[in-house]
Amino acid sequence: MTVSLSINSISAHYGKTTVLQDLSLSVGAGELVSLLGSSGCGKTTTLRLVAGFLQPTSGTIKLGDRDLTTLPAHARDIGLVFQNYALFPHLTVLENVAFGLKQRRMATQERQQKAGAMLERVGLSGLGDRLPGALSGGQKQRVALARALVIEPPLLMFDEPLSNLDAKLRVDMRVEIRQLQRANGTTSLYVTHDQEEAFSISDRVAIMNAGRIMQLDTPEVLYRKPANSFVARFVGFENLLPLRAIQREGVLVTAEGSGGARIALSQEDFGPIPDSFVLGCRADGLSVQREGNGLSAVLGTRTYLGRAYQYQCTTPAGDIVANGALSEPLAAGSAAVLAPVPEQCCILTPEK
Amino acid sequence: MKHLAKWGLTAPAIIAVTLFLLVPVIITIAATFGEQKGLFSPYITFFTSGFRRTVLFRTIEIALITTTISLIIGFIAAYVIAQMPGRAKSVMIIAAVFPLLTGVVVRSFAWLIILGKNGILNTILLSIGVISEPLSMLYTEGSVIVAMVYLFVPLMILTLVGVLEGIPQDLIQAATSLGATPAATFRQVILPLATPGLIVGAVLVFTGSFTSYATPQLLGGEKQMMMGTFLYQRAMVTFDWVGASTIAAIMVVVTIGIVAIMSRIARRLNPMAV
Amino acid sequence: MTKSVHPALIALTACIFLFLLAPLVIIIGAAFSDTTYLTFPPQGLTLRWFSNIFQIEAFRTTAITSLQLAFLGTALSLLIGIPAAYAISRYRVELPRWLSTLFVLPILVPEIVFGFSLMKSITIGLGLPIFPSLLIGHALLVLPYSVRVVSASLASFDFSIEEAAISLGCPPLKTFLTVVLPNIRAGVIAAFILAFITSINDVSVSVFLTGPGISTLPIQILAHMEQFFDPTIASVSVLLMLVTVAVMAIVEATLGLTFLTK
């Protein structure tokens, strides 16, 4: 049973502060969409609205053809996985997993069986009689997962489920979560502040800021073609250069930025270049060379990254972080040229 | 050097408690033994005396009733307070705790005004015609219980609000998300997790009411003698110091016994114990 | 954001608060009544029962005694309690478990048994005069507040700032007075207030230790009640309540009152 989730023009307030303004989002049947952003961006608020712990001041939430907006939280039939696991400390692991089934009036025998089977699926068979206090972080997370899955909800929601686990466990667990989600085909909404996590497991990601969705796309598109400077900076385009095209010769565009800095870009490599735009470059997007075509710069502090050198550069257009080859370490104070590397750059239209 | 520091710092307090509390109380209890009439004779006298047994049982009964009523009232109030938003919650807590700070005499004396023959309750009942003659409500078990409940409800509320706030919010949300109605969440999650704290609160109120003096003195008088007032009477009116010490010893045993047993139970039941 | 609470529960809670606060209102009202007996609502308004307090010598002297006992007793308990609390917090692992229990004994042992035993052993046994006996009784009665409340404050104290001060050349005692104490100010003030109020209102311990010429205000109120059941008692109660309000106002102004729910 797969349904789609549609959030339509939701607004939410905490007292006088507007936390979400006119937010809309759809998650297709069987899709896993992540809400990604730093704290305060509104991602958790959105999740709590869908869960029913918060009431929107306007807008609707629909799951399949059910309108959730006025439904009380306990009637929404959504599986929730919490950041701090929220396991009931006074119930055994088995009773924890069976809790949702008990609320649905399933007979004891049947629900214990189902809970036991789910525990096996998450790799925790044999731990049914333990109390949550005796489990490790990773085990607790699996119990939380099992508890949400066993009720076979039409929608699963994850509230930063892995942030309390250590790095290695986080990677292993996110793969497991994705595999379980894919196997069940359950529509899922996933909240996280970890970009790598969101990109590695999601079908699409919504990058959020200040209560708005800045861009909703597949991870590949977000990474390569950010729609605005917020998203660009978020996915790692550290350097944002506002430029104006001053000369066009066929596919070659010469652009000028502040301070008279000049750079030549080919539309063959970069795609169509408007007259006024922002060039976004990762540190790898501007290659530090002794001479050649590119932005002139003076090099500052050099740091060793292992795979490259990184330079703090001063250019007429501003300060830039750029990487250079290990074979050519350049001294601080020397003049250099920053050559654009098209695959590590993006073009943005300036009004966003 | 550190050894000296830690003992040096705690020594005055240790000496004070030992010298002025521990030793005198032990002496008091010891004074009940070693009577010429036999080692346990004061206790035998106590438990074979109908009057004394009545005092003890009455005290236990009143303490139990007070505890039960205070638990119910306190829990309802604490539950509602715990759900309130910040500002309202602080105001309610202050309002609930304020009586605690006015002292036992003030709070017991209020009930003399309310329950007396010329008191408010009688005046109201007479004026609306429910009774034709003023009721004699003072110096009954009921008046003592009402005043004791009034004395201990704020303490119970304070304890229970702390207990309820100790239950993590996300547990309640988890239960709700799994389909538990508010009533089911209360029964299956909140109540079990609050139970150890409830036990602690109940023990506090029970021992407090069991050993109470001022309230039974004012509202019970000699007709409703309780262990506290009985102790005073034996000591300062009849100068029966062995008898008084016996009462004291029984009070100590009951108090410490209940605290010890119930603490064990509370700790055993506490799944969130760190 | 308020979660929805069943209206029946809210109604019940309103009744409970009425139950808690109405008797105090009644006392306040009765204190102003222009009658020689206690009645509510007050019939006629007068302040004479308040001035009566000051005219009755017994009330004047016992009020002073109560204040002396409260200040001195609290000060004494803080003097021996704060170092003990500090030692327990700092050297927690190296001190025996029974130590914390020892300091809590005054709460575990029934007050009335404590008062009786103290009178027997100290006042009569050792022949100690009344005021010192009362002082010892009050100081020990409130000792658990000094130890427990200050310990709680110390639990969130970062001892590394103490080490920083010492490493910068500050001797231990000075460090305690100038670095530790100011940072546990809230706990000390809270302990002082709880101890002070407990001492001022105490009956069970004082009732055995008071004697000819020296008594405490609550005991005097009880005695007065046996002879004169008049509004003076209500006005004294109002005065006591005002002391509590004053104390709480000071706390609110300096600290905020939310620490009460710990």
> 3-state DSSP call for residue A237?
coil
Identify which of A348, A339, A351, A352 has the alpha carbon closest to the alpha carbon of residue A279.
A348
pLDDT tens string, chain A, 352 residues long: the values are 579 999 999 999 887 888 898 999 999 999 999 999 999 899 999 999 999 998 899 999 999 989 999 898 889 999 999 999 999 988 999 999 999 999 999 999 999 999 999 999 999 999 999 999 899 999 999 999 999 999 999 999 999 999 989 989 999 999 999 999 999 999 999 999 999 999 999 999 999 999 999 999 999 999 999 999 999 999 999 999 999 999 999 889 999 988 888 888 999 888 889 999 999 999 999 999 988 888 889 999 999 999 999 999 999 888 999 999 999 888 889 999 999 999 999 999 876 4
Site from B177, B267, B272 to mutate, A interface, most A CB atoms within 10 angstroms: B177
B86 near A CB under 8 A: no
Nearest Cα residue in chain A from B268? A90
CA distance B7 to chain C (A): 8
Compute the distance between CA of residue C231 and CA of residue C75 in angstroms, rounded to an integer. 34
- The gap from C-alpha C169 to its chain's centroid, in whole angstroms, comes to 39
Does residue B152 belong to the interface with chain C, where contact is any CB pair within 8 Å? no
When pLDDT is cut at 50, 70 and 90, the band that residue B1 belongs to is: low
Cβ of B170 within 8 Å of Cβ of A82? The answer is yes
Which pLDDT score, from 0 to 100, does residue A259 have? 85
Domain region containing C73: 53-261
pLDDT at residue A1 in the model: 57
The phi and psi torsions of A72 (rounded to 5 degrees) equal -65, 155
Reference B202, options B109, B98, B94, B64; nearest CA is B64
* C102 inside 8 A of chain B by CB: yes
* β-pair partners for A242: A278
Which of C4, C19, C117 is opposite residue B28, by nearest beta carbon?
C117
Closest Cα in chain B to A54: B173
Are A100 and B178 inside 8 Å of each other by CB?
yes
Q: Does residue C41 have a cis bond before it (omega within 30 degrees)?
A: yes
In CATH, what number is assigned to the domain containing residue C156?
A: 1.10.3720.10
Q: For the whole model, what pTM was predicted?
A: 0.82
**Average pLDDT over every residue of B244-254:** 94
| Count of CB atoms situated within 10 Å of the CB of C130 | 17
CB contact under 8 A, A103 and B177: no
B86 touches chain C (CB under 8 A): no
Inform me whether the C-beta atom of residue B182 falls under 8 Å from chain A C-beta atoms: yes
At residue B128, does pLDDT exceed 80?
yes
B176, B193, B271: residue with CB nearest A133? B271
In a domain, C154, yes or no: yes
Closest-CA residue of chain C to B12: C80
Report chain B residues whose CB lies below 8 A from the CB of C19.
73, 150, 153
Contact assignment for B174 to A131 by CB distance below 8 Å:
no
Residue B203 near residue B66, CB atoms below 8 Å: no
Q: Name which of B106, B139, B190, B233 to mutate to probe chain C: the one with the most chain C Cβ atoms within 10 A of its Cβ.
A: B106
Mean confidence (pLDDT) of chain B: 89
Q: Each residue of C132-150: pLDDT tens digit?
A: 999 999 999 999 988 988 9
CB atoms closer than 10 angstroms to residue B11:
15
pLDDT exceeds cutoff 60 at C261:
no
> What CATH homologous superfamily does B49-269 map to?
MetI-like (1.10.3720.10)
Burial C96-108 (b: 16+ CB within 10 A, else e): eeebeebbebbbe
Query: Is pLDDT at B274 greater than 60 in this prediction?
Result: no
Give the whole-angstrom CA distance, residue B71 versus residue C16: 12
**CA B261 to CA A268: how far, in whole Å?**
84
Q: Where exactly does CATH 3.40.50.300 map onto chain A?
A: 5-232
Max avg pLDDT among A168-172, B5-9, C91-95: A168-172
- The count of C-alpha atoms lying within 13 angstroms of the C-alpha of A347, restricted to the half-sphere facing its C-beta, is 18
pLDDT for the residue B271: 65
B181 CA to chain A: closest CA distance, Å?
Answer: 6
- Contact: C17, B96; criterion CB under 8 Å: yes
Residue C54 near residue C63, CB atoms below 8 Å: no
Relative to beta strand A318-324, strand A276-281 is unpaired
Give A87 to chain B, closest Cα distance, Å: 7
Q: Of 2.70.98.10, 2.40.10.10, 3.30.160.270, 2.40.50.140, which CATH number belongs to A236-348?
A: 2.40.50.140
B110 vs C: CB within 8 A? yes
Q: How far is C114 from chain B (nearest CA, A)?
A: 7
Which string of b and e fits B219-241 if b means at least 16 CB within 10 Å? bbeeebbbbbbbbbbbbeeeeeb
Q: C201 and B259: CB-CB below 8 Å?
A: no
- Region of B25 please: left (phi>0), alpha (psi -120 to 50) or beta: alpha
Q: In this structure, is residue C75 part of a structural domain?
A: yes
Q: Is B10 within 8 Å of C40 when comparing Cβ atoms?
A: no
CB contact under 8 A, B23 and C121: yes
| Strands annotated E in chain A | 5-14, 17-27, 32-36, 58-63, 66-67, 78-81, 155-159, 187-192, 204-209, 212-217, 239-249, 252-257, 262-266, 276-281, 286-289, 295-304, 309-315, 318-324, 335-340, 345-348
Inter-chain residue contact B179 with A131, CB threshold 8 Å: no
Rounded to whole angstroms, how far apart are CA atoms C83 and C95?
14
Give C27's contacts in chain B (Cβ within 8 Å). 106, 109-110, 113
- Cα–Cα distances in Å, from A198 out to A170, A193, B148, B215, C194? 12, 8, 60, 65, 53
**Whole-angstrom distance, CA of residue B12 vs CA of residue C84:** 8
* Residue with more model confidence, A128 or C2: A128
CA distances from A101 to A145, A342, C194 (A): 14, 54, 49
On the CB side of C178, how many CA atoms lie within 13 Å of its CA? 10
Could you read off the pLDDT of B174-217 as tens digits, one per residue? Answer: 999 999 998 999 999 999 999 988 998 999 999 999 999 999 99
What is the model's pLDDT at position B137?
A: 83
B257 in Cβ contact with B90 (< 8 Å) = no
Whether C256 has a pLDDT exceeding 80, the answer reads no
A276 C-beta neighbours (distance < 10 Å), count: 13
Q: For strand A212-217 and strand A239-249, is the pairing parallel, antiparallel, or unpaired?
A: unpaired
Q: How far is A78 from chain B (nearest CA, A)?
A: 6
CA distance C38 to C50: 14
- Comparing alpha-carbon positions, the chain A residue that sits nearest to B181 is A74
- Locate CATH 2.40.50.140 in chain A: 236-348
Non-local CB neighbours of A178 within 8 Å, separated by 6+ positions: A32, A200, A201
Number of domains in chain C: 1
Quick check: B179 and A77 CB within 8 A?
Answer: yes
Which residue in C90, C100, C203, C208 has the most chain B C-beta atoms within 10 A of its own C-beta, making it the best mutation to test that interface? C203
- On chain B, the residues whose CB falls within 8 A of the CB of C103 are 13, 17
| Highest-confidence segment of A32-36, A54-58, B109-113, C29-33 | A32-36
Which residue, A148, A102, A87, C6, is CA-closest to B183? C6
**Residue A160 Rama label (left phi>0; alpha psi -120 to 50; beta):** left
pLDDT recorded at residue C186: 81
Asked whether residue C262 carries a pLDDT value surpassing 50, the answer given is: no
The answer, for B87 touching chain A at a CB cutoff of 8 Å, is no
Query: Is some CB atom of chain A closer than 8 A to the CB atom of B31?
Result: no
Distance in angstroms (rounded) separating the CA atoms of residues A196 and C125: 78
CATH of A5-232, one of 3.40.605.10, 3.40.50.300, 3.30.470.10, 1.20.1250.20: 3.40.50.300
Per residue in B11-52, pLDDT (tens digit) is 899 999 999 999 999 999 998 887 777 778 888 888 888 899
| Cβ within 8 Å, pair C9-B109 | no
- In chain B, residues with a C-beta closer than 8 Å to the C-beta of A78 are 177
ipTM of the complex: 0.88
Residue B116's pLDDT is: 84
* Number of other residues whose CB lies within 10 A of the CB of residue A12: 22
Q: Is the pLDDT of residue C4 over 70?
A: no
B216 near B178, Cβ under 8 Å? no
* CB contact B52 to C (< 8 Å): no
Instruction: Flag whether pLDDT at C194 surpasses 80.
Output: yes
Looking at the complex, does the CB of residue B20 fall below 8 Å from at least one CB of chain C?
A: yes
Question: How far is C185 from C200, CA to CA, in rounded Å?
Answer: 22
Average of per-residue pLDDT across B119-147: 85
Q: Is B14 on the interface with C (CB under 8 A)?
A: yes
Tell whether B184 lies on the interface with A, counting CB pairs under 8 A: yes
CB A36 within 8 A of CB A192: yes
Structure tokens at C94: 């190296």
Q: Which of B173, B177, B272 sits opposite A89 (nearest CB)?
A: B272
Please indicate if any CB of chain A lies within 8 Å of the CB of B168: yes
Of A80, A89, A90, which has the smallest distance from its Cβ to B177's Cβ? A80
Size of interface B-C (CB pairs under 8 A): 253
Q: Which residues of B touch A87 (CB under 8 A)?
A: 174
Which chain B residues contact residue A104 at CB under 8 A? 179
User: What is residue C1's predicted lDDT score, i.e. its pLDDT?
Assistant: 36
Residue C219 lies in a domain: yes
* Interior angle at CA C195, CA B264 and CA B16, nearest 5: 70
Which partners does chain B have (≥3 C-beta pairs < 8 Å)?
Answer: A, C
> Confidence band (pLDDT; 50, 70, 90) for C2?
very low
Looking at residue B122, what is its pLDDT?
A: 84
Within 10 angstroms of residue C214's Cβ, the number of other Cβ atoms is 18
For chain C, the chains sharing at least 3 beta-carbon pairs closer than 8 angstroms are: B
- List the single residue in A53, A75, A100 with the smallest CB-CB distance to B173: A53
In terms of phi and psi (left: phi > 0; alpha: psi -120 to 50; beta: otherwise), the region of A211 is left
Q: Are residues B10 and C208, on separate chains, in Cβ contact within 8 Å? A: no
